[in-house]
Each structure stands twice: as C-alpha cells, then as structure tokens.
C-alpha cells in the first residue's frame, strides 16, 4: 500500500530533482529514499523517475503522481492543523509568508497587537517573492500568505484587505515649483527605478507604465525599496513607491519629493490567501480583520517634500 512517507519522498524529489538533496531534505539516507521510491513505483505499476547520468527527471506519470501527492500531503497537514487548533482562534503555530514590499511596513505594526490579543499564537514568518509563497502555500509548508492580489490558483481562497496607492517619488529640487500632482507623462521622460525581476511590485508598476521604452524601464533593478529610495535621492531616477512604505522609507527626508496622481490613482490590492481545504478559515478571517484595523491607522506625516 502507498504510504505517506513515500509520497513525502516523491514530493521532495520532485522539488530537488536530485536523490541526494531529496534525502537530505527528508533527513534520511539516499539508499533509503531510493528504495522507497522504487517500492512506490512497484505499487503503482508506473515508472515515476527517469534516471540519467546528469541527474533525474520525473516521467509524465511521475509529474502527475507528484502533483497529487502534494494535494494529499497538504490535506494531511490540514487534518493535523484541525486537531491542533481547537483551543481557540489564533492559537498555536501559524506559518505566515509575506512579500518583501509589504512585510516590513505592515507587520511591525500588527505583531504587537497580535501578541497582545492572541498570546497563545506562535507566528513563524517567511519573506520571499510571490511565486515561492504560492508554491509553499499549496504544498502546506505555509498556512497563510500576505501578498498583492489577484492570485490565480484554484486551490487557494483569497480575501481583500486594503488598496495600496502608488506615489511618485523624485529627487527634491530647489528649482521651479513642481506640479501639485503626478501624471503618467512624467514617467516617460525619466529613468524609472524598480525592484528586480521576480518582485510583483515591479510588474504592478510596469502595468501602469506600459508606455515607457524598454531602455527606461529595464535599465535598473534593486532588491529593496530602501536601495531605490537612496538612488532616487541621489538623482539616478524616479520611482513609484507604495503608500504603505512611505512612513518607513521617506519619513523626515528632505531630499525626496512625493507627488500623488490624480484620480483614479494607480494602486495595488493587498490581501491574504490560504488553501481552500484549510480548517483554519476562522483564524485567517480574524487575522485579516486585525490587519485591516492596523492599516487604517493614520501614519505619521512629514516624510518627504510634497
């Protein structure tokens, strides 16, 4: 009979594409993992893995079995979650993933409130790009992710938290008076500084800046908004900053000028996502309510010249 252990080993092998790395990830010896994979193939009467000198590849049948194995293992993790979290809302361990353009700006405000209201909650945080978060959520490695919507995955349920408007950030100038509002034409004549490939914030900004030439929009990429703000302050270009980051990145700076766009303002939707099969929907809805409350609190004024 097929065992959960065999499915876990196949899941790891599908991710690593290497017997040694998969065995290390599962904390077993390579021969033991290889034997379990062979027994799984015998049980299913299918060839799951194509072994080559250069490495391994899953067969077409292997890919499908691995996909189904991920779903089964995620359901098992949800079953364990259900048993563990009957003590009350937001108690026990919660594995939260968040993208870098949200986590450092929203979570520091939310964590003290979480600790105060739900002392039984043990929050574990993972910060990475959306693609990684979605994959780890589907496989059950994460319980909940904080991302920009929409997320296109039929296995996931999402809830909208708030809209995060984009604000144009430029180097402060003592020259002629700047306009009161930003407009899309300004972006066509300046070097646009964006996060590097893989960050959804880059894609969202470019969706608004579709009129830019490839040279203007692809000439620079940074790994953090803090780096981009420094580059803008030094006169290397302009950027679209999410409003949620203004207080942390531009507060009290005199070398950055901020301009809002006229309505309708460019924006991104911030939300939470979880597996539809998760038994912790009540937890996630309570978490969402707390994040909305924190996000609505007024931010400190005085950051940047407007």
- pLDDT, residue 218, reads 47
Encode 85-121: b = buried (16+ Cβ within 10 Å), e = exposed.
Answer: beeebbbeebbbbbbbbbbbbbbebbeeebeeebeeb
Q: Is 144's pLDDT higher than 90? A: yes
- pLDDT, residue 187, reads 73
Q: Is 89's pLDDT higher than 60? A: yes
> What tens digit of pLDDT does each residue of 254-288 get?
889 999 988 888 899 999 999 998 889 989 999 99
What percentage of the chain has pLDDT greater than the value 90? Answer: 48
150 cis-preceded (ω within 30 degrees of 0): yes
Q: Are strands 144-149 and 49-52 parallel, antiparallel or unpaired?
A: unpaired
- pLDDT, residue 137, reads 93
Task: Show Cβ contacts of residue 140 under 8 Å, excluding neighbours closer than 6 positions.
Answer: 70, 73, 74, 76, 77, 78, 275
Average pLDDT over residues 52-79: 86
Residue 142 pLDDT level (bands cut at 50, 70, 90): very high
> What tens digit of pLDDT does each residue of 10-40 get?
999 998 888 988 999 999 999 999 999 999 9
Query: Which CATH number applies to 90-306?
Result: 3.40.190.290
Query: Which of residues 90 and 244 earns the better pLDDT score?
Result: 244
- pLDDT, residue 84, reads 64
The CATH fold of domain 4-83: Arc Repressor Mutant, subunit A (1.10.10)
Written as six digits, the tokens of 102 are 């949200």
Average pLDDT over residues 232-248: 90
With H, G, I as helix, E, B as strand and everything else as coil, classify residue 156.
strand
Which one, of 206, 219, 223, 226, lies nearest residue 268 by Cα?
206
Average pLDDT over residues 73-84: 77
Average pLDDT over residues 78-101: 80
- pLDDT, residue 302, reads 42
Query: What does pLDDT average to over the chain?
Result: 85
CB atoms within 10 A of CB 3: 12
With H, G, I as helix, E, B as strand and everything else as coil, classify residue 173.
coil
Vertex 118: Cα angle to 113 and 120 (nearest 5): 140
* Distance between CA atoms of residues 181 and 183, nearest Å: 7
> What tens digit of pLDDT does each residue of 100-122 get?
999 999 999 999 999 999 998 99
Residue 303 pLDDT level (bands cut at 50, 70, 90): very low
> What tens digit of pLDDT does each residue of 146-179 get?
999 999 888 899 999 999 999 999 988 755 566 7
Q: What length does the chain have? A: 306
User: Is the CB of residue 113 less than 8 Å from the CB of residue 290?
Assistant: yes
Q: Is 306's pLDDT higher than 70? A: no
Q: Which stretch of 69-73, 144-148, 165-169, 188-192 has the lowest confidence by average pLDDT?
A: 188-192
- pLDDT, residue 217, reads 52
In the chain, where are the structural domains located? 4-83, 90-306
* Distance between CA atoms of residues 121 and 275, nearest Å: 20
- pLDDT, residue 297, reads 80
DSSP conformation class of 184: H
């Amino acid at each position: 009979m097929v065992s959960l252990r065999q499915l876990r080993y196949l899941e790891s092998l599908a991710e690593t594409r290497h017997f040694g790395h998969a065995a290390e990830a599962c904390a077993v010896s390579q021969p033991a993992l290889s034997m379990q994979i062979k027994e799984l193939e015998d049980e299913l009467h299918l060839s799951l893995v194509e072994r080559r000198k250069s490495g391994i590849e899953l067969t077409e049948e292997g890919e499908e079995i691995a996909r189904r194995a991920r779903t089964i293992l995620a359901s098992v993790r949800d079953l364990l979650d259900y048993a563990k979290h009957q003590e009350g809302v937001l108690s026990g361990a919660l594995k939260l993933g968040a993208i870098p353009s949200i986590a450092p700006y929203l979570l520091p405000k939310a964590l003290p409130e979480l600790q105060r209201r739900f002392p039984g909650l043990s929050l574990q945080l993972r910060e990475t790009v959306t693609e990684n978060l979605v994959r780890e959520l589907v496989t059950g490695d994460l319980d909940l992710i904080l991302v920009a919507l929409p997320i296109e995955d039929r296995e996931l349920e999402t809830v909208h938290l708030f809209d995060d408007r984009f604000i144009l950030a430029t180097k402060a100038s003592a020259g002629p008076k700047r306009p009161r509002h930003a407009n899309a034409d300004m972006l066509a004549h300046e070097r646009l500084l964006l996060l590097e490939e893989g960050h959804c914030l880059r894609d969202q900004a470019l969706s608004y800046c579709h009129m830019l030439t490839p040279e203007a929009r692809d000439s620079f990429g940074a790994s953090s908004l803090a780096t981009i703000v420094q580059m803008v302050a030094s006169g290397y270009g302009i950027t679209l900053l999410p409003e949620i980051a203004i207080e942390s990145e531009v507060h009290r700076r005199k070398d950055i000028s901020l301009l809002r766009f006229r309505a309708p303002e460019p924006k991104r939707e911030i939300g939470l996502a979880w597996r539809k099969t998760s038994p912790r929907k009540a937890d996630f809805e309570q978490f969402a309510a707390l994040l909305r409350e924190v996000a609505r609190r007024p931010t400190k004024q005085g950051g940047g010249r407007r």
